[in-house]
């Protein structure tokens, strides 16, 4: 499934205002709509807003806010948040430090949820790895996934 096919209509409308206009007022309106949706609990909006906050061209450029929205969306299980977070971690895009293993983990989650672009991106990125690097990465990713599935019983109750 393509990214544009999974976006709820209000998120898609806000994205169109934000990215497909040279009018600063429309960009601001798109940002305002995305932020309201994200703060209201729409994790697709949170993913899109988090990604958009990374672009210096926007007046609302804010790496910390972008990181927070992306992490919140990915942690909530949103496939778009997982895709964007995985891509940025894998490639070490601001504000994230490069972490190919965690990036690969999030891209795998996004692919499992049906995001075609996650598989395509991961496959393209893996072409640049040596076979030994790819093997080690997959082993470590499996360990991360295993830990994610069993860690809850070991966490202390607050």
Q: How far apart are CA 133 and CA 130, in angstroms?
A: 5
**pLDDT computed for residue 53 by the predictor:** 86
Tokens of 112: 């499992």
The pLDDT of residue 68 is 94
Max Cα–Cα distance, the chain, nearest Å: 52
The pLDDT tens digits for 41-97 are 999 999 999 998 888 887 788 899 999 999 999 999 999 999 999 999 988 888 889
Query: For the chain, which residues make up each domain, given as ranges?
Result: 3-152
2.10.240.10, 1.50.10.10, 1.25.40.10, 3.40.50.300: which CATH number matches 3-152? 1.25.40.10
What is residue 154's predicted lDDT score, i.e. its pLDDT? Answer: 58
């Amino acid at each position: 499934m393509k990214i544009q096919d999974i976006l709820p209509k209000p998120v898609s409308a806000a994205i169109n205002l934000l990215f497909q206009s040279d009018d600063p007022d429309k960009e601001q309106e798109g940002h305002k709509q995305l932020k309201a949706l994200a703060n209201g609990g729409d994790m697709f909006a949170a993913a899109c807003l988090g990604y958009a906050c990374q672009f210096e061209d926007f007046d609302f450029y804010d790496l910390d806010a972008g990181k927070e929205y992306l992490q919140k969306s990915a942690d909530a299980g949103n496939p778009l948040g997982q895709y964007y977070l995985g891509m940025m971690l894998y490639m070490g895009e601001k504000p994230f430090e490069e972490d190919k293993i965690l990036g690969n983990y999030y891209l795998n989650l996004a692919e499992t949820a049906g995001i075609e672009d996650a598989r395509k991106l991961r496959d393209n990125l893996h072409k640049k790895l040596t076979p030994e690097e790819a093997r080690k990465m997959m082993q470590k990713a499996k360990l991360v996934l295993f830990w994610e599935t069993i860690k809850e019983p070991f966490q202390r109750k607050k």
